[in-house]
């Protein structure tokens, strides 16, 4: 690379050194503003969601692929949601284990659970499209098959839907596997870094992406953009950019908690990030 002029190397070095410092300052400044603008509410209990003017029906869509180890725990947590008007749509995406069998057993015990079986595995995007299009609810919360929602999460998410231009609200994922050092490190990653960046992005007006593990969507907006694209590697980035390119608003709600499983070994973490 000797053909590059000397000043180019200086520019590259300066960029490599100053860019992380600049972005860190940008994220911290935006997150601090977000706290004082949206989260600091001394006039009421911040741990209790506000009373909504109406409680329209919400469907929780859960794409499931080989989730037999945790599907019963996940469904039990969903049945304990505080939101008064919801149902659960579980989409068995061609699982090769006992996921479909367990969902059918749970379907007999839970009146507000609907189970949809796909003949073969077609990916998360197809499972989400199927679940969203086979419900009559105008709002859908999409979560992963191993995620557990906080009882008040839907109330916090629906608080933003009083604005007709809001298409999606992403929640706040928290790691619940903490038995190893690697698990505890990821707790810090999600609690500080991810939350910090999304707060700052909300302050500056554009979220780069909703969280694929928990997000609330307005069906009208999903229909307008054609739902999720099955040929995209990251369905969460895809749907976020499609919505915002049509001038829909996407927001972040840090009090809508969702507890997720994360790998606690280096091999598991490598496989997850590579995927």
CATH code (residue 114) = 3.90.550.10
| Reported pTM | 0.85
Domain tally, the chain: 1
Q: What are the tokens at 62? A: 């859960």
Residues 133 and 71: their CA atoms lie apart, in Å, by 22
Residue 220: inside a domain:
yes
- Among 167-171, 186-190, 270-274, name the one with the lowest average pLDDT: 270-274
Beta-bridge partners for 89: 61, 114
Q: Quick one: pLDDT at residue 159?
A: 93
Residue 84: inside a domain:
yes
Residue 50 has pLDDT above 60, yes or no: yes
Residues 4 and 79: their CA atoms lie apart, in Å, by 62
Residue 140 in 3-state DSSP?
strand
Q: What are the tokens at 61? A: 């869509």
Residue 146: inside a domain:
yes
212: DSSP letter? T
When comparing pLDDT for 16 and 165, which is higher? Answer: 165
Residue 187: inside a domain:
yes
CB of 158 within 8 A of CB of 52?
yes
Domain assignment of residue 131, given as a range: 55-274
Confidence band of 49 (pLDDT split at 50, 70, 90): confident
pLDDT tens digits along 224-253? 999 999 888 788 899 999 999 999 999 999
When comparing pLDDT for 175 and 156, which is higher? Answer: 156
Residue 2: inside a domain:
no
In this structure, the strands spanning 166-175 and 113-118 are: unpaired
CB of 167 within 8 A of CB of 218?
yes
Residue 197: inside a domain:
yes
CB of 127 within 8 A of CB of 140?
no
pLDDT tens digits along 141-161? 999 988 999 999 999 999 999
Residue 40: inside a domain:
no
Q: What are the tokens at 13? A: 């070095």
């Amino acid at each position: 690379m000797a053909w590059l002029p000397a000043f180019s190397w200086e520019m590259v070095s300066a960029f490599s050194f100053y860019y992380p410092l600049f972005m860190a300052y940008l994220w911290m400044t935006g997150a601090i503003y977000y706290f004082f603008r949206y989260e600091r509410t001394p006039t009421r209990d911040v741990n209790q969601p506000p009373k909504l003017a109406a409680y329209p029906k919400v469907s929780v869509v859960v794409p499931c692929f080989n989730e037999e180890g945790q599907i019963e725990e996940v469904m039990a947590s969903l049945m304990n949601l505080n939101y008064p008007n919801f149902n659960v749509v579980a989409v068995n995406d061609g699982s090769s284990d006992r996921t479909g069998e367990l969902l059918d057993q749970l379907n007999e015990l839970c009146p507000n659970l609907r189970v949809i079986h796909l003949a073969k595995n077609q990916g998360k995007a197809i499972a989400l499209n199927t679940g969203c299009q086979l419900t009559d609810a105008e709002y859908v919360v999409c979560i992963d098959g191993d995620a557990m929602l906080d009882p008040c999460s839907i109330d916090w998410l629906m608080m933003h839907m009083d604005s007709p231009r809001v298409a999606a609200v992403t929640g706040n994922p928290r790691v619940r596997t903490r038995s190893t050092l690697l698990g505890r490190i990821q707790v810090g990653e999600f609690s500080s870094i991810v939350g910090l960046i999304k707060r700052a992005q909300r302050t500056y007006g554009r979220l780069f992406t909703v969280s694929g593990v928990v997000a609330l969507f307005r069906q009208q907006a999903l229909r307008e953009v054609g739902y999720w694209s099955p040929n995209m590697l990251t369905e969460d980035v895809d749907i976020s950019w499609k919505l915002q390119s049509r001038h829909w608003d996407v927001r972040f709600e840090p009090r809508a908690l969702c507890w997720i499983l994360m790998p606690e070994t280096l091999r598991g973490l490598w496989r997850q990030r590579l995927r």
